Amino acid sequence: MNMAISSDVPVFAELDPLDPDQVADPHFLLAQARRNHPVFFMPKYGWYVVTRLDDITRIANDPETFSNRMFVTVPEVPAGFRTRLPLGFPMKVQLAAADPPAHGRLKRYMQAALSPRIIAAHADQIRQIARQLVDEMLRSPDRQANLVTSYADRIPMMAIAALLDAPVEDYDRYRLWVDASLELITTNPSPERLECLAETLQDFDSFIRKLIHDRRERPGEDAISKMLAAADEGDALGEEEILGLVSSMLLGGTDTTSTAIGNMVWNLLHHRDQWEAVRADRSLLAKAFEESVRFRDPGRGPIRVATQDVEIRGIPIPKGSLIQLCTMAADHDETVFDHADRFDIFRNDLKIAPAWGRGIHMCVGRLLAHLEGEIALDILLDHVPDLELVGDGGRLYTPQLMMPTLRCLNVSW
Ligand code: HEM
């Protein structure tokens, strides 16, 4: 590792989340960082990275010093769309970008929408969705498929639609809306592109607002009705807040879970004995999913902003700096996990993988993701027990700084 030390701050110039080799195998360099320089600066992207679980947990529990007020900004709606998008872009309010006290209030509503009861009430429908997708996949005449596009990517989007009591078969539209939302907040779109995104997202806006109006009139056992019902005396969610929470669900709960499902299948097919063990004993489904999320984190880790000059492990970090809590590195922290680089669904030192985050922003969708992941695997084990990777699976991740999303996993049967 070529560490250039400048004013007491270790700089790790080799680490580049967009380098295709590091996207394919991120853990080699992250392990070096975790051992030798657990807090370092990445000059190319201009942020600090924290790699050990104890540091991440401490930071995540101190939102006053480490804020979630994101560096991500949602642009203003272009002039020609102001009447059609009167509340702004649908993701203007984001739970993950809020600090206390606003965060606590929004999270309470989100927890009501994603409560264990609501999730359990939709389990049968999610199972039916997965079953149908497998049946379609198995119709492929050459007995091969990209498991991500035909299965893993569809389940999370359709599961959220089910939770909203919206038509699950509109998958392509939801995909378009999620992609447009991500483009809006992660790139700096040109004025022409912004108009296109506004056109697409206007559709999303009217779709959700219609659902909100329907649920106000006829409440049911769905996520929006539960958000509306969670209102206290003197407090209720504004329409732009409901829009923001629904888009938080879609942005937070689709590519993460899809990547987690694909990674789980890859891990288990690479360790066929563990695939067979879960096949024989389905009480291992939850462990298989949790270990997969730990072993290959679907994200690299959330970002915080230092609200004052601070020191982490003696490294001075100035006010206003961006700090990545690299959960992907913490998942393999050898001071926390035995043989951290080994995929082992039987390990007993794993309760909640660092990949879910820590502190007040810890993932609110973990239960839903587990349900989807476990059902996805259960159905594959039942219907395609002889599933195999084509070659090594040809895994392809989109190189992204925060979320290297799995886009291809070739399987055969
Ligand atoms: C394997 C799948 C998933 C992983 C690895 C994951 C990971 C994470 C992480 C690391 C955070 C913390 C962000 C932070 O500290 O700033 C988070 C927050 C969040 N997640 Fe997930 N997530 C997954 C699935 C889901 C699902 C299925 C949903 C909803 C449908 C969801 C919705 C959210 C939301 C709304 C937040 C913000 C919570 C807050 O700020 O309090 N996630 N997730």
* pTM given for the model: 0.96
Q: State whether the beta carbon of 162 lies less than 6 angstroms from ligand 1.
A: no
> How many Å apart are CA 385 and CA 407, to the nearest integer?
23
Q: With cut-offs at 50, 70 and 90, classify the pLDDT of residue 71.
A: low
> Tens digit of pLDDT for each residue in 155-182?
999 999 999 999 999 999 999 999 999 9
Question: Is residue 234 over pLDDT 90?
Answer: no
- The residues near 240 (Cβ < 8 Å, ≥ 6 apart) are 87, 88, 92, 93
Tell me what pLDDT residue 1 has.
42
At 274-331, the pLDDT tens digits run: 999 999 999 999 999 999 999 999 999 999 999 999 999 999 999 999 999 999 999 9
Contact 333, 354 (CB under 8 A): yes
Tokens 């462990």 identify what position?
A: 287
Contact 368, 159 (CB under 8 A): yes
For the segment 195-220, the average pLDDT, to the nearest whole number, is 96
Please report, as a single letter, which amino acid is at residue 330.
A
Ligand 1 centroid, distance to 203 Cα (angstroms): 25
Please check the confidence at residue 8 and state whether its pLDDT lies above 80.
no
59 within 8 A of 325, measured Cβ to Cβ: yes
> What domains are defined for the chain?
3-412 (1.10.630.10)
- Rounded Cα–Cα distance for residues 279 and 381 (Å): 6
Q: Is 357 in the pocket of ligand 1 (CB under 6 A)?
A: yes
Q: Using the mean position of ligand 1's atoms as its centre, give its distance from the Cα of residue 194 in Å.
A: 27
Average pLDDT in the chain: 94
Q: Does 298 sit in the ligand 1 pocket, CB within 6 Å?
A: yes
Q: Strand 322-325 relative to strand 47-50: parallel, antiparallel, unpaired? A: parallel
- CB within 8 Å of 63: residues ≥ 6 apart: 99, 100, 103, 359, 360, 361
Indicate whether residue 249 lines ligand 1 (CB < 6 A).
yes
**Token representation of residue 156:** 């999370």
On whether the CB atoms of residues 215 and 222 are closer than 8 A, the answer is yes
Q: What percent of the chain has pLDDT over 90?
A: 91
